[in-house]
Amino acid sequence: MERRISVLLLVMTLLVMNSGAGANDQATKALSEIDQKLNLLNKPGIKTINSEDGDIIDCVDINKQHALEHPALKNHQIQLKPSISFPAEEKSTKNESSRPVIFQTWQKSGSCPEGTIPIRRTRREDLLRAESLERFGMKSHEAFTGTKKMGSPNDSLLVTAARRSRATLITLGYNYIGAQGIINIWNPHVQSPGEYTTAQIWMKAGPGASYESVEAGWMVHPQLYGDGRSRLFISWTVDAYDKSGCFNLLCSGFVQTSSKFVLGAALEPTSSWRTQYDYPIAMNLDPNTGNWWLLGQNEGIGYWPGTLFGYLKHSAIVVEWGGQVFSPNVLSTPHTKTQMGSGDFASGHLGNACYIKGVRIIDYSKSLKYPEWVGSTSDEPYCYSAQNFREGIVGEPVFFFGGPGQNFPYCK
């Protein structure tokens, strides 16, 4: 049975109970379960890097990663690179050498050798912050509460989920085998440790109440990471996060191939009104294997194996770009003060609001293009807004989103 109270609270309660040796035995058992979980998650590394932000990075043999313990990956042969070349944007005539460079904090302290993957070490204090050992690193189930109406025959896929508030740009109705966007990086405030905020891309398929999804972007999640830093993240599910999937590498499934990126590590620098920093993210299906490849800064990071999925093995039929806030205090009063994006509304535009530009999809024409149809939507427009904004009469729109959460008198 899932523990409904935090692991830390459980251990502390057992230690202070007036039951003598019996309470101590229960506390010892709880700590032993934590250590067993750590042994499952942390594989021995051939090199360890101590990041200046406090993270410990282990360089783990690529063939010994936790992903390969998934039942669907028994005897899985790691695909080191896609079997095809994915379509890419035409090179801009603009000098890209002046583009601000985004990096991960740990990279300042070392690098992992080829043949290994860098993994953020999970520590006892991470598990003590969790509400449940069984669901550590997993999203809460996206309980079906209704659908959005966007004027499409696939409206049933647009799930309205409890404890989540989104502001997104959506395209749906076709067979998408890739999507990408350049995501603006900020460092929004999160009010409570159990809440989190993201800026990301979703690719979905299957019935709305039990959809399959692969997702990537950046997030602030104090309960998971122990701080308020903006971090690179991925997640996935085959049942709307009921029993499957997780963040990053905290369950088996996603196969990492790159020695350069750490899923769950901090990104820097983050944006301010003076300077904007952004990060290209892409997810592309390899049609020969059914594997969904994740690319960051135009380099392969790894893939979700097609054997994990049913519907997504062939294509996605919904793509979303934007942000999400998870809190028990969304869609209710009093509302959370957890911010989305920059913490400013979409109407702030460049320099103030968070954006995703370079929105692209790939369909079975196998060309990279702006979606034929898109619509912007927000679950709580007075708390977090969405605007697909085109400046002037030329060029394509830039999607802006975000907001402060609670702000009187509009979002109470």
What pLDDT, in 10s, does the model give residues 2-23? 344 455 545 544 444 455 666 6
Residue 243's contacts (CB-CB under 8 Å, 6 or more residues apart) are: none
Residue 117 amino acid letter: I
Largest Cα–Cα separation, the chain: 76
Helix (H) or strand (E) holding 10: helix 7-16
Cα–Cα dist 225/222, whole Å: 5
Could you tell me if residue 51 is inside a domain? no
Could you tell me if residue 184 is inside a domain? yes
Cα–Cα dist 350/184, whole Å: 10
Residue 36's contacts (CB-CB under 8 Å, 6 or more residues apart) are: none
Could you tell me if residue 78 is inside a domain? no
* Average pLDDT, integer, range 245-266: 96
Provide the domain limits for residue 182.
163-403
Could you tell me if residue 29 is inside a domain? no
* Average pLDDT, integer, range 247-258: 97
- The DSSP result for 20-89, as a single string, is THHHHHHHHHHHHHHHHHHHHH-PPPSEEEE-TTS-EEEEEEGGG-GGGGSGGGTTPPP-SS-SSPPP-P
Could you tell me if residue 42 is inside a domain? no
Extract the tokens encoding 385: 């807004």
**Hunting for tokens 């800026």 — which residue is that?**
199
Mean pLDDT of the chain: 89
Could you tell me if residue 83 is inside a domain? no
Confidence of residue 95 (pLDDT cuts 50, 70, 90): very low
**CATH number where 264 lies:** 2.60.120.1270
Could you tell me if residue 395 is inside a domain? yes
* 323, 340 contact by CB (below 8 A): yes
Coil/strand/helix, residue 226: coil
Residue 152 has pLDDT above 50, yes or no: no
- Number of structural domains the chain divides into: 1
pLDDT digits (tens, 9 = 90+) for 285-295: 999 999 999 99
pTM of the predicted structure, to 2 decimals: 0.91
Collect contacts of 106-110 with beta carbons under 8 A, ≥24 apart: 106/49, 106/51, 106/53, 106/55, 106/57, 106/262, 106/265, 106/266, 107/260, 108/51, 108/52, 109/49, 109/50, 109/51, 109/52, 109/57, 110/47, 110/49, 110/57
pLDDT digits (tens, 9 = 90+) for 51-80: 999 999 999 999 999 999 999 999 999 999
Residue 223's contacts (CB-CB under 8 Å, 6 or more residues apart) are: 129, 130, 131, 193, 194, 195, 196
Cα–Cα dist 267/269, whole Å: 6
Q: State the distance between the two ends of the chain, measured CA to CA, in whole angstroms.
A: 36
Residue 23 has what pLDDT? 62
Residue 227's contacts (CB-CB under 8 Å, 6 or more residues apart) are: 53, 54
Cα–Cα dist 300/295, whole Å: 4
Backbone angles phi, psi at 254, to 5 degrees: -70, 130
pLDDT digits (tens, 9 = 90+) for 214-229: 999 999 999 999 999 9
Could you tell me if residue 359 is inside a domain? yes
